Structure formats: structure tokens, C-alpha cells
Amino acid sequence: MHRRVVITAASAITPIGHGRQDILHSLTHGKSGVKPLRDDELLTRYIHSRVFGTVDYPVLYDFKRLYRKTMGPVAYYACQVAKEVMEMAGLDNDFVVSGRLGVAFGSTHGSPTVQRSIYKSFFSGDRSEYTAIGAVDYLKSMVHTTAVNITKMFGITGRVISSSTACTTSSQSIGYGYESVKFGLQDAMLCGGADEYDTTTVAVFDNLLACSTAFNDTPQLTPRPFDVNRDGLVVGEGAGAVMLEEYEFAKKRGAPIMAEVIGFACNNNGGDLILPNLNGIMQTIRLGLADASIPADAVDLISAHATATKMGDVIEAQAIHGVYGDRPHVTALKSYMGHTMASCGVIETILLIYMIAEGLIAPTLNLDEVDERCAMIRHVRNPIAERIRIAAVQNFAFGGVNTSLLIKKFE
């Protein structure tokens, strides 16, 4: 059984805004969400990279204590975008609790903020530190905290998938949600990812010399995907959620359809856990196209993973050129907000959906001079008004995990 899968609702909290209007405003005005790294009174004094993709506006939460009591910061993000998507989708409550709606939602490692407070007891002989570990600290901090706080909030009883594959977390959420609906295991899936403000992630990349450090005084000028002066990634925070539904089901209930998911692939490089791998990435892209049953030249726009590391961008440009040639437009959306880790795949998918709907392509920010090793693909350097029919979202993660999602304008 192969069924069509459509997106009927989407919402994101990002460093460039919360919700469609804010995000589109930032995209069309070239506004960056990269800000100075805020102090955590712990690691920031040692970190060389002083920039962070920051959600610096208030998000108004209205969760009852019944729900709040098991939520850490990452679950607040997740539940907020899930709530907005649930309201937007307007699914009948009987369906929500029927077992035919599932959740695929993840984060990089649950809530580091809560984990840090637990770890304090490890380094203190004081009993008061031990008793300060809350009864619910595990529920707040565990890796699947986002997914199950969402199921609790809405009484969702279907399958739960909680990927935690760093930068491919939420592209896997969408991909596995798509497969669950496509193959008839569920009729709808609420999919996404979230990551809270966390400096341990910055420290890890900083120690690997993979973080941007040359633009600490001008945060909006980094990251610089594909640019000759790029000097590494910028970590960020945020969340995104989409509702996937089986097409006939969505049509029957009169749901507004935003786009269609037509293909997904995920593979592993089968070796090194850090280095980008040309063959692995090209294979993922090809598998995605095969799943969608479309030729490479059917793709009009690619959202590149493009974290702005020296090597990653070159390998990705080679992979794109190797499969697609120089026909599709390529944009690097992390240039607006840095790398939002577990949420980057879903946020980039949502931005693509908005751009497809508006008929515009936002350019890669800070791409002043294209690195000649990345110059063989068709970079978007200025806003373009163009009808996009099919777009691809590429993401690659530590651990050698690669994903490719194919999104089609709904017609």
C-alpha cells in the first residue's frame, strides 16, 4: 500500500521569527538571527565562538501545570509548535485519540539544562543536592521528552518515534512520519524537532575547531555557507512541527493542503563518524529521488545542509553537482539562523513550504564571494521570484547519517 502524504499544518520558533509572517519577513529582508552568545556562567568563558542563533523574543506559553510539570525547556519549544500545528490542522478530537495519529519528534539530547542540574549532585557530597533531584527530572530531560510531552498534552495514542540523530533528527522525524502514513501504519503524523539553548553543543564544535570565531563582533555576518571566507558553523536553538496526513483523509475532511511529501531517504556513510562523505551523500540523494520516482532534473530548488564548515560545504557542493548538475537553485538557510541542530531539518522544510507557496526563493546570506571549489552549482545570491514545483531538503549528521526529503507544491 502506497498512499500520498500531504502537509496540512506547519509552525516554527526560529532565531528569525515565530510563525509564517515573521519568518517570511526575515527571509525577504535578509535579516539574520545570529546574535552574541549569551552567558551561561559555565562554559561561555572558555568558548572561542561568541555567536549563537538566538530566539531573543518572548514566546508566550500557556500550559497548565499538569503539562508543565514534566517539561524542560526543550519540551516547551516542542509543545508550543505542536500546539500551533494541532490548532492549525483542526483534527477532530475522536481522531486525535483514535490511535491513527502518531508523533515523530526528537531533540539532540533531551534537555541539557535539566541534565546539568541533575549532574550537580554527582560532584557534591551534600545530601541536599541529592534530594534536589526532582521526581520528574528524568521525564523533563530524557531523549524522548519532546515526543511524549506532546502525546500527553493532546491524548495522542498512536505510534511514537523519537529520533535523536543530531542534525538529522527532525528530517528523520518527517521521513519516518511520511513512511508511517505512506505505508498505512498511521493516517496522520505530527512530526518535528526542537533544541533548547545549550552551550555544551557549542563547546563540542568549538573544540573540534568547527565553529565560527572570526565574526564575534559582527554576528550577522556568520555563518557564511559556500563563501570563501566562511569559518565554521554557528549553533542555534529553535523548534518546528508539521502535520502529515494521508491525502484522501485530508481531502475528505477539507483540510487546507500546504505541500506534499513525495520522497525520503536515509543512509549511513558506513565508516567515519565525523567527516562528510561524498559517496554517502550522493547515494542518499539518489535514493530520495528513486523513492519519489522522479528524475534529478525535476527538482527546482535545493535547501542545502551547508553549515559553513570548510570541508562540509565543498563535499555537499560536489554531491549536488554530481547528482543534479547546475540546474536547480541552491540556497543555504542556515545562513539566516545558524545550525538549529535537531530542529534544522523541519525548520528548513517549513521555510521551503513558505517559499514554494509565495513563489520566491530566499538567497544564501553572507555569500559575498563564492568559494571556487563550491562554484559549480547554482547558488541563489539574490531574492528570486519563481514558481517552484519540487524542492529537496538535505541534512547530514555526526555519526555519518544522511537524509534527503523531497517536497512538492500541492496541485
> Which spans of this chain sit near another protein (rule: CB under 8 A)?
64-66, 69-70, 131, 134-136, 139
Q: Are 353 and 19 in contact (CB under 8 A)?
A: no
Taking the complex as a whole, how short is the minimal distance between the CB of residue 135 and another protein, in angstroms?
A: 4
**Pairing verdict, β 238-246 and 188-195:** antiparallel
Taking the complex as a whole, how short is the minimal distance between the CB of residue 149 and another protein, in angstroms?
A: 13
For residues 150 and 352, which CB has a smaller minimum distance to another protein in the complex? Answer: 150
Taking the complex as a whole, how short is the minimal distance between the CB of residue 68 and another protein, in angstroms?
A: 9
The secondary structure of 189-252 as a DSSP string is EEEEEEE---HHHHHHHHHTT-B--TTTT-GGG---TTBTT---B-BB-EEEEEEEEEHHHHHH
At position 144, the amino acid (one-letter code) is H
Q: Is the dihedral of CA 157, 263, 7, 67 positive or negative?
A: positive
For residues 30 and 134, which CB has a smaller minimum distance to another protein in the complex? Answer: 134
Q: Dihedral angle at the C-alpha atoms of 205, 206, 209, 212, nearest 10 degrees?
A: 100
Q: How many CB atoms lie within 10 A of CB 316?
A: 28
Using alpha carbons only, give the angle 16, 42, 75 rounded to the nearest 5 degrees.
Answer: 45
What one-character DSSP code corresponds to residue 207?
A: H
What one-character DSSP code corresponds to residue 100?
A: S
Taking the complex as a whole, how short is the minimal distance between the CB of residue 65 and another protein, in angstroms?
A: 4
For residues 1 and 66, which CB has a smaller minimum distance to another protein in the complex? Answer: 66
Taking the complex as a whole, how short is the minimal distance between the CB of residue 70 and another protein, in angstroms?
A: 7
C-alpha cell at 353: 513550504
Identify the bridge partners of residue 378 per DSSP, sorted by sequence position. 329
For residues 70 and 170, which CB has a smaller minimum distance to another protein in the complex? Answer: 70
For residues 69 and 389, which CB has a smaller minimum distance to another protein in the complex? Answer: 69
Taking the complex as a whole, how short is the minimal distance between the CB of residue 402 and another protein, in angstroms?
A: 39
C-alpha cell at 90: 483542526
The owner of cell 535514493 is 287
Q: Which H helix or E strand runs over 269?
A: none
For residues 63 and 95, which CB has a smaller minimum distance to another protein in the complex? Answer: 63
For residues 137 and 358, which CB has a smaller minimum distance to another protein in the complex? Answer: 137
Taking the complex as a whole, how short is the minimal distance between the CB of residue 116 and another protein, in angstroms?
A: 20
